[in-house]
Amino acid sequence: LSVEGIRRGLGASTVGRHLYLFGEVQSTNVALRSLAREGAVEGTVVLAESQRAGRGRLGREWFSPSGVNLYASVLFRPHFAPRQAPCFSFIASLAAADAVKELGPSPAIKWPNDLLVDRKKVAGALVECATRGDEIEFLILGIGINVNVPLPVLRAALGPAGVNATSLAAVLGQEVDRNALAASYLTHLDGWARRYKAGGPEPILAAWRERDILTGRRIEVRGEGGGFEGRALGVDGDGHLLVDDSHGQRHIALSEEIR
Ligand code: BT5
């Protein structure tokens, strides 16, 4: 990765105004959070070649080997209530989907923010918010994309979960230019953020629903208090997943794991 290489392909007005590229960090989300606390402007981006402690949702880990993938976090300072954050976060997977589609494969999105190619996960997004009272102080959208990591390495690192993961190089049968992919992702993210600003959640939700793989399917919901089976009905206006269980009871999933 190189800042010049990424800048060459970048066509964004806000995202990427400041671009930091690190060798190794604990987590790009954590590094960007420190910059945000020091007053970094909206659109500031942190990328790293590797992460010591890449984070997934719910305290899980994100496998982040060096020099082969993308780990990127982008800072937003939106003027909306914290309840709008989940829907806004959909722009990360939409932008990643656009960037991947330019390479060939047509990806699907699994709620809330997994990107799947051939039903296997190639990318995941993590949204983190800092709030002050009823307002968002800043919001960080982190994305990890498996780009050129060899499949055996990915599978060995993830254990049994590895069968559900893949990389772009594995899907395409050739290595992918990470600078070009990063530029494309950031450019699309900028576009989606502008669309959200102009039109609110609806255009985002409409695009997201087109790629959503869960709606209408039988699923298993796993939360802290146990799990249940049901049918996914789709997302509501807040970006939460609606599920009917086998007794016809309606549930609203906020952050649970779906299978
Ligand atoms: C996610 O979590 O999918 C969000 C991942 C976000 C990572 C980015 S990298 C840049 C930024 N900085 C960070 O520290 N994080 C963000 P979740 O839905 O919880 O998925 C995590 C689960 O996916 C793990 O429990 C594993 O089973 C699996 N997993 C871990 N690493 C993976 C990888 N590289 N590829 C595919 N699956 C993986």
Q: What's the gap in Å between 114 CA and the centre of ligand 1?
A: 9
Return the DSSP state at 240: P
* Structure confidence at residue 109 (pLDDT): 97
Give the model's pLDDT for residue 94. Answer: 98
Q: DSSP states of 10-44 as a string?
A: ---SSTTSSEEEEEEES-HHHHHHHHHHTTPPTT-
pLDDT given for residue 22 in this prediction: 98
The per-residue pLDDT for 13 is 94
How does pLDDT run across 117-174, given as a tens digit for each residue?
999 999 999 999 999 988 999 999 999 999 999 999 999 999 998 999 999 999 999 9
- pLDDT at residue 195 in the model: 97
| Cβ atoms of residues 46 and 28 within 8 Å | yes
3-state secondary structure of 155: helix
Quote the ligand 1 centre to 174 CA distance (angstroms): 23
Distance CA 101, CA 92 (A): 14
Which protein residues are within 6 Å of ligand 1, measured from CB? 27-29, 51, 54-58, 60-63, 71, 73, 114, 121, 124-126, 142-144, 146, 158, 161, 165
pLDDT at res. 226:
82
Q: What are 27's two structure tokens?
A: 């987590």
Between 227 and 37, where is the model more confident?
A: 37
Question: What is the percentage of the chain residues whose pLDDT exceeds 90?
Answer: 93
pTM of the predicted protein model: 0.97
Closest CA to 231 of 222, 241, 219: 219
Sign of CA dihedral 125, 126, 131, 137: negative
CA distance 58 to 164: 19
Q: How sure is the predictor about 255, in pLDDT bands with cuts at 50, 70 and 90?
A: confident
| pLDDT band for position 60 (cuts 50, 70, 90) | very high
Alpha-carbon distance of 36 to 27, in angstroms, equals 14
